[in-house]
């Protein structure tokens, strides 16, 4: 059995596997299946200043080896999260990454400030949601805006701050450098790739929001590439995600430069996916004589 512990800055995770924001709610649906303490951490559902009802259905569609979604940040708002969900999550003996979003830098800062007085372990600032009209991806696609919102949140909280990056940009390394310069302690990537499908029969887009975020196995090579580029461009830890479906994918993303790995679409398919991926990674490490998972990070030998 390899030692699965990894570090993201000063935070220690018992293993590198974290359910990604959006697929795992606030954990309640999954603890009926297994103890959340088995997970390296949990990135909670993206939470905004006020309650959001989300987009009209259909919000999901299958694509070859992947899916498109457009939920539109449905969430009960930060006050309800702190009152009703966070205390329980913090009792689950795992690292909690509170994913936050907002329409403006001020809203993001206000949400972060409210979390600052809680015991949450890390804030994951979402500057890359493709499914809301304001904020979201608008922050994530310009270095200036990304730096501005990061700075506002940085000033509002002393919590470790991870900024979740959009892949829908010309140069993800420039955005990563901008948010690190503005005070991010870590970056996580990739959020979904903006996509669209059309029903030929009805000539309607398959999602009511017309466009949505592409995820799943189909995007994994993009994630590996971007994690590798960003890990080489910044000195802070990188949390990798994007189409990780099994333990070998997790190992590959760590080799590319990730210190920990978030898992999204695989959980939509199989609630037990995080456990299967932890086991698969453990097995791979054992089979390859790697004693510590943390030693895998960034060990790719590029040509």
Partner 1 sequence: MIHDQYTEKLSFPVRSMTKLTETIWSMVIECPSVAEQAVPGQFVHLLPEGDFTLRRPISICEIDRQEGALRLVFEVRGKGTAVLAALKPGDTVNMLAPLGHGFTLLSRESRVILVGGGIGTPPMLPLAKHYGENAVMISGFRSEQQVILQADFAETGTETILCTDDGSAGVKGLVTVPLAAAISTKKPDLICACGPMPMLRGVAALAKQNGIPCEVSLEERMGCGIGACLVCACQTVDRNGDTQFLHVCKNGPVFNAEEVVW
Look-up: residue for tokens 């009960």? 76
Task: State residue 107 phi and psi, 5-degree precision.
Answer: -65, -45
The least CB distance from residue 36 to partner 1, in Å, is 11
Buried b (16+ CB within 10 A) or exposed e, 242-266: bbbbbbebbbbbbbbbbbbbbbbbb
The verdict on whether 92 is a catalytic residue reads no
Q: Which is nearer to partner 1, 141 or 246 (CB)?
A: 246
User: Binding residues for partner 1, per CB under 8 A?
Assistant: 22-25, 29-30, 32-35, 38, 45, 53-67, 69, 71, 74, 216-217, 265, 267-272, 275-276, 278-279, 282-283
The least CB distance from residue 142 to partner 1, in Å, is 28
The least CB distance from residue 169 to partner 1, in Å, is 25
Q: Which is nearer to partner 1, 59 or 114 (CB)?
A: 59
Q: Which is nearer to partner 1, 22 or 240 (CB)?
A: 22
The least CB distance from residue 30 to partner 1, in Å, is 7
Buried b (16+ CB within 10 A) or exposed e, 134-171: ebbbbbbbbbebbbbbbbbbbebbebbbbbbbbbbbee
Q: Which is nearer to partner 1, 33 or 210 (CB)?
A: 33
Q: Which of 65, 92, 108, 129 is catalytic?
A: 129
* Residue 97: Cβ-neighbour burial (10 angstroms; 0-12, 13-18, 19+): buried
Cα torsion 288, 292, 297, 301: sign: negative
Cα torsion 247, 249, 252, 254: sign: negative
- Which residues have a catalytic role annotated? 129
């Amino acid at each position: 059995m390899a030692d699965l512990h990894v570090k993201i800055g000063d935070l220690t995770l018992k293993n590198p596997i974290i359910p990604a924001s959006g697929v795992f709610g606030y954990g309640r649906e999954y603890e009926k299946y297994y103890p959340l303490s088995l997970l390296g951490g949990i990135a909670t559902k993206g939470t905004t200043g006020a309650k959001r009802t989300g987009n009209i259905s259909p919000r999901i569609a299958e694509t070859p080896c992947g899916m498109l979604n457009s939920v539109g940040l449905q969430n009960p708002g930060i006050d309800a999260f702190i009152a009703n969900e966070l205390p329980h999550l913090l009792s689950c003996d795992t690292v909690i990454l509170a994913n936050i979003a907002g329409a403006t830098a001020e809203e993001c800062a206000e949400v972060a400030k409210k979390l600052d007085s809680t015991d949450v372990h890390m804030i994951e600032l979402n500057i890359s949601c493709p499914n809301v009209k304001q904020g979201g991806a608008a922050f994530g696609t310009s270095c200036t805006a990304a730096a501005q919102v990061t700075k506002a949140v940085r000033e509002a909280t002393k919590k470790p701050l991870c900024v979740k990056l959009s892949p829908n940009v010309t140069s993800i390394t420039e955005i990563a450098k901008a948010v690190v310069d503005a005070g991010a302690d870590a970056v996580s990537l990739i959020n979904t790739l903006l996509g669209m499908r059309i029903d030929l029969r009805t000539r309607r887009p398959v999602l009511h929001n017309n466009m949505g975020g592409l995820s799943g196995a189909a995007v994994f090579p993009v994630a590996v590439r971007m994690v590798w580029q960003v890990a080489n461009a910044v000195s802070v830890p990188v949390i990798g995600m994007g189409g990780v479906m099994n333990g070998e994918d997790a190992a590959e993303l760590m080799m590319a430069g990730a210190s920990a790995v978030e898992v999204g679409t695989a959980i939509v398919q199989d609630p037990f996916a995080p456990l299967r991926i932890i086991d698969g990674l453990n097995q791979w490490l054992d089979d390859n004589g790697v004693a510590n998972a943390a030693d895998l990070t960034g060990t790719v030998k590029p040509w």
